[in-house]
Amino acid sequence: MTDSLTTRQQQSQPRTLAITGGKGGVGKTSVALNLSLTLAREGHRVLLLDADTDLANVSIMLGRYPTRTLANVMTGECRLRDVIMESEWGLHIVPGASGVEQCVDMAAEDSLRVLRALSKLEKDYDYVITDTASGLQKTGMHMIAAAELACLVVTPDPASLTDAFSLIKLLIRRGYRRTPSVLVNMAQGASQARSVFQRLESAAQRHLGIQLHYLGAVWRDETLRQSVLNQRPVALMNPSDPSCRQFRTLCDMLNVRLRQLPPRKAGIAAYWHRISTAPAVPAPASGNNESGSRPDPVAECKRLIAGIGKVLDENNDASLLRYEAFNGFFALLGRTIDADTIEIIQTGMASLDWERLDKEQRAHLATHLNHLASRVDPQSRRDRSGQSNAQKEVPRKEREPYYDRISFGDQSRLVRALREQPSDISLDQLLRSLAGTDRNGS
C-alpha cells in the first residue's frame, strides 16, 4: 500500500468524488463523512468539502461547531487554510455554508484570490470529497460536474428512487456524459440493495438510454443510527466492527472504480474558474445599469416577474393584462421548444390551483386540453371505444420474454412453486399467488 500511496501523492491532481442525492434524508452526509474518515485512516490525505448550502452539518456530525466557514473566506475575513478543521486520522474538513454558492456565483475578478488558494490547497490531497446539496439546486449541479465521479445515494424508499431519477435526468439534459455510481443506503441486505439498484437502472435505461454503476451498499443497523445521535461516526470504531468494516469495503470498491477512470487534468478550482468566466447574458439596451456591469440573468428574471406581478395587482380588472402576459411567456418558450420547455410547461400547469374551479369550469378546461392534446399528437386522440388511432393503425410490437425477479423471486423458487401447485390451477391464479397479489392474500 505504501507504493500506491506514494504514486498518488505524486499526482498533480487528486481523485475527486461528489456525494449527492435526489432528496434529503438518504444519509448522504453520513456516507461522505464515514467514507472520508476511512480513507484517511488508511493513510490517504483527504479533504472533505461541505458544500451542502441548506444543511451544512458535516462538522455537527463530529460534535464540532466551527466559527468560520468558506463564507468568511469569500468576504476576505480570513484565508482558506484558516477555516480547515482537522478531525481524527488527519481528515481535513472545509465547512462550506453559503460560501460554496457564493464562490460559484461571484465574478471572476472577485473569486480569483479564493480559487488560487483552493487550487494550491487541493493539490496537497489524494482525495477531495464533496458533500453536495440534495435535490436539483444549481450549486449541487456544479459540484457534480466538477468531480470526476458522482456517487448518488439512494434508499429503498420509492420517493428516493423517483427523486434520484429526476436528478439523473436533469444531469443528462445539461450535458453530463459520465456514468453516475449508485450507493444504496439503509438496505436490509444484499438482495434488497441489488433490487433497489436494478429498479433505478432499469428506469434509466428505458427512459434515458444510459447505464448506471453499482458502487455498493450500506446496511441499516442500530449502530449506524446511534452513531449519528452520539456524533461519533462508525468509521472511528474498531476496524473489526461490522458497521466500520462495511465502509472499508466501500473504499475498496471506490478505488476499483476510480482506477477505471482516467484522472482529470484540472481540479475543482479550475472548474469553478471556468464557470465564473463564462459569458454572461448582455444587459438590455434600455436598462439603467450605470456601472456598465452585466446583471445576473437569474436576478433580472426575478425582478421582471416581480414587476409584472405588481402591475397585475395594481389593476382591479387585469384579465386582458393577464392574457397578454401569459401569451407573451408562452411565445418566449416556443422560440426554443425542446424537452426542457415541455417540462417547464408541465411543471407550470401542475402548480395551478385547480381546486378553485367549479365542476363546470373544470369540464370546460378539460375539453380544451383534450383538443390541444389532439393537435400536439393527432394519433393520441381516442375514439368512443377508448382505443387510440395509433393502436388501431400500428401493429403491436411483440414484447420480448422477460423474467421479473423482483415480483417472483429467484428462479429456483419459481420452479419449486410450479411443482407444488395443483394441476387444475389457472395460469392467472398461479402468477397472482407467486407475486403475492391474489385475492386470498397468499
Which residue intervals of 10-128 are DSSP H helices? Answer: 28-41, 70-74, 99-105, 108-122
Q: How many CB atoms lie within 10 A of CB 7?
A: 10
Are the CB atoms for 13 and 264 separated by under 8 Å? yes
pTM for the predicted model, two decimal places: 0.61
Q: Specify the pLDDT at position 437.
A: 46
Are the CB atoms for 268 and 146 separated by under 8 Å? yes
Q: What is the pLDDT of residues 373-427, one digit of tens each?
A: 776 777 665 544 454 444 444 444 444 445 555 555 666 766 777 777 776 676 6
**With bands split at pLDDT 50, 70 and 90, how would you rate the model's confidence at 154?**
very high
Tell me which of 210 and 436 has the higher pLDDT.
210
Distance CA 130, CA 144 (A): 9
Mean pLDDT of 291-306: 66
Mean pLDDT of 50-74: 77
Cell numbers for 221: 443497523
- Exposed, middle or buried by CB within 10 Å (0-12, 13-18, 19+), for 114? buried
Please list the helix, strand and coil fractions of the chain in percent, rounded to the nearest 5, in that order. 55, 10, 35
First to last CA, the chain: 54
Tell me which of 160 and 414 has the higher pLDDT.
160
